[in-house]
Structure 1
Amino acid sequence: MRKIKIQDLKDFCKAALVKEGLREDYAKICGEVLAETDALGTNSHGTKNLYGYIKKIRVGGIDIHAEPQIVKEGPGFAVMNAEKCIGMVPSVKAMEVACEKAKKTGLGLVTVKNSCHFGAAGYYANIAAHKGMIGLSMSNVDPNMTVPGAKGMLIGNNPFAYAAPANTTPTVFLDVAMSNVASLKVVQAKKDRKSIPDTWIVDKDGLPTADPSNYPDEGAMQPFARHKGYGFAVMVELLTGILSGGCTSIGGDIVSWCFEPEKPNNVCHAFMAVDAEQFLGEGVLAGRMEEMSRELRQAPKAKGSERIYTPGEIEWEKYKVAYEEGFTIPEDVLISLQELSADVKIPLKTY
């Protein structure tokens, strides 16, 4: 097992993107998002994907010179056109704008269209939470999920996240997709030639299967809790693609960011910030979240259970270890980073 210091990981990501031609401040944003995601333990959406983004830049699927622009706005909302930019840049910018508007109006909502895969939704929700606000973030994605009664890929598994400040942990947060698992986990299982639980995907006939070998050419992801995950995926479409005036996963204009790298991804995002201070008073939200968290942790435990976790608590424990001891790099992440390092001729400082 190899380790890397989180700052060294951020610096490597930034250097690789700058070498490709991305402006330095945008490259820094991407490095921050991806490395912080790894620190929280969400390795499927962290630096493992950097080489994929760079390959997409090289074949024109991402415009490395794009400048995201706000095309419409009011006191509490804005619409941003990402202009085919790498997804982390418009996403950070949009959440920052949402927070600024929330400070003035109590609520801020920014939608983004014509963007690319933005990594982990939780990172952006936590931007608001670190400012003492409630944050919501979400994105539609390429159609990779079936719905009850259908077969084939019909709608995206559309990730959604929320976050709020607390005291014992930096935030209480949740980051989930509307499928039972993220599609990248199925892709990894296929690469590793491993079987999967039959609750993850369906086959070409719409029936549950434990064999990922034909995915994504055949079959589709299963929504969590069937109609519930399906319904929440539609909600994300409403607030992202439909509200922004951009593409929807159902409409056929969103393609996979990694399986069709030469094409624009065309995904849409939405970011909401709620300035709880205007609702509750200064510092009240974190205290109330801490009170609720304490009650959850101290609730009667099931037989054999030693601990009750609050949402995000496991991730923040991993984060603390990553910053104190370095990030332990999973094998698939290490391989991707080493391949990129050899390609761009920038050393990866592991130990």
Structure 2
Amino acid sequence: MNFITFTEEQLRNFTYSVFERMGCNDEHAKLATDVLIRSDLRGIDSHGVARLSGYVRLWEKQRINATPNIKVVHETPTTATVDGDGGLGLVVAPFAMQIAIQKAKQYGSGWVAVKNSNHFGIAGYHALLAVEQDMIGMSMTNASPLVAPTYANERLLGTNPICYAFPAGHHPPVVVDMATAAAANGKLEIAQRSNTAIPDGWVQDAKGQQSTNPNELKNGGSLLPLGSDKAHGSHKGYGLGATVDILSAVLSGANYGPWVPPFVAFLEPPTDPVGEGIGHFLGAMRVDGFRPVADFKNHLDNWIERFKGATTVDPDKKVIIPGEPEYAFEQERKLEGIPLIDVVVNDLNELATKLGIAKLH
């Protein structure tokens, strides 16, 4: 397994060229690029440029609309439902979050449900848009059914990530960004590329037995909810995943549960959809709707410092604040570049040849 390091600018230019070839306008191509590059910068390699081929294949199958007419279809002063017109979730979700932010500026909070969208990248990107406005951001999305509910041996839920982001003062934002499955599917993809086993508790095989084979999903297996099994709290992960599915899709009019269309192009969407596309749910809350912003930030800094100073079982380890590793990755990779595994680089260069754009070097 070899890594090749690229500058942020190199990957931005390449990614923009891909979206432009798909037919995205300049604004949408730049926005979609920013979402993917932010993922790679933050060390979430499974959701960065490695996903480009997947978006292109769905576009070729006419399951992604590169020129969507994104619009509000239902609205109150503090809420809205957005129809993404089959567009890139990388574009649709920021559009919806900006609506939530504008409503929060006027009324204190804003909440937007989205239907008829696609994979929206990392949840943290969208929640952090609110943090930039001294707001608390929330974002979540449902996803392709890969997760079996507690006690089940049937894929009914997606990895259904959820994110909360909070603005701090002297410290980076606190960003709780996680899948509600025991592991995101992207982590299995990374293990597949490196041909390594995965930890116990991530997946079960077609017979419902836990497995360490990263290819288990291809063999009829399923991901497990956060907690892995009932004894270790999988019912809580199942509950969180269900919450995401209901807010993102049952509320918006998107597909939910086993009807969510797959991200991979070689699998066809269900022939009996219960809604439109994939769903998201985004929210923004003004901090000063509860207390002065400076007071909140001072106390969140104090919270961070107290937790960082906690006595640990291993003196060589410290408590990690949610979002801290990603922030550290971002600072490092902006200076030193973004490493990509050679398998991903080869895939991207094959994509470049197909689209007639310059390869990565």
> TM-score interval w.r.t. the shorter chain?
over 0.9
The answer to whether the Cα contact below 8 Å between 1:130 and 1:171 also exists between their aligned partners in 2 is no
2:275 is the counterpart of 1:269: no
Query: What secondary structure, in the 3-state scheme, does the structure 2 residue paired with 1:67 have?
Result: coil
Q: What amino acid does structure 2 have at the position aligned with 1:334?
A: V
Root-mean-square deviation (CA), in Å?
Answer: 1.9
Alignment of 1:1-351 (within 5 A): 1-225=3-227, 226-249=234-257, 252-260=258-266, 263=269, 266-348=277-359, 350=361
Q: Distance in 2 between matches of 1:13 and 1:126?
A: 21
Q: 1:178 to 1:172 in 2, by over 3 A?
A: same
Stretches of 4+ moved more than 6 A in 1?
Answer: none
Q: Residue deviations 1:178-208, cap 9 Å, x none? A: 1111112224434544322231111112121
Query: What secondary structure, in the 3-state scheme, does the structure 1 residue paired with 2:346 have?
Result: helix
Q: 1:349 to 1:219 in 2, by over 3 A?
A: closer
1:314 positional shift: 0.9
Query: What secondary structure, in the 3-state scheme, does the structure 1 residue paired with 2:288 have?
Result: helix
The answer to whether the Cα contact below 8 Å between 1:179 and 1:221 also exists between their aligned partners in 2 is yes
Q: Distance in 2 between matches of 1:173 and 1:308?
A: 15
1:52 positional shift: 1.4
Q: What amino acid does structure 1 have at the position aligned with 2:352?
A: S
Same amino acid, percent of matched pairs: 29
Q: Distance in 2 between matches of 1:6 and 1:233?
A: 33
Q: What amino acid does structure 1 have at the position aligned with 2:348?
A: L
Q: Distance in 2 between matches of 1:262 and 1:102?
A: 38
1:257 positional shift: 1.1
Q: Which runs of 5+ in 2 are unaligned?
A: 228-233, 271-275
TM-score of the superposition, structure 1-length normalised? 0.93
The answer to whether the Cα contact below 8 Å between 1:193 and 1:213 also exists between their aligned partners in 2 is no
TM-score of the superposition, structure 2-length normalised? 0.91
The answer to whether the Cα contact below 8 Å between 2:201 and 2:210 also exists between their aligned partners in 1 is yes
Judge which range, 213-222 or 290-299, deviates more. 213-222
Q: What amino acid does structure 1 have at the position aligned with 2:237?
A: G
Q: Residue deviations 1:17-65, cap 9 Å, x none? A: 1122111110110000000110000010111101210121112111112
The answer to whether the Cα contact below 8 Å between 1:253 and 1:266 also exists between their aligned partners in 2 is no
Q: 1:309 to 1:191 in 2, by over 3 A?
A: closer
The answer to whether the Cα contact below 8 Å between 1:22 and 1:65 also exists between their aligned partners in 2 is yes
1:217 positional shift: 4.1
Q: Residue deviations 1:279-327, cap 9 Å, x none? A: 1123333222211101111122223334222111111111001112222
Q: Which runs of 5+ in 1 are unaligned?
A: none
Q: What amino acid does structure 2 have at the position aligned with 1:237?
A: D
How many residues align? The count is: 348
Q: 1:261 to 1:101 in 2, by over 3 A?
A: farther
The answer to whether the Cα contact below 8 Å between 2:259 and 2:269 also exists between their aligned partners in 1 is no
1:154 positional shift: 1.9
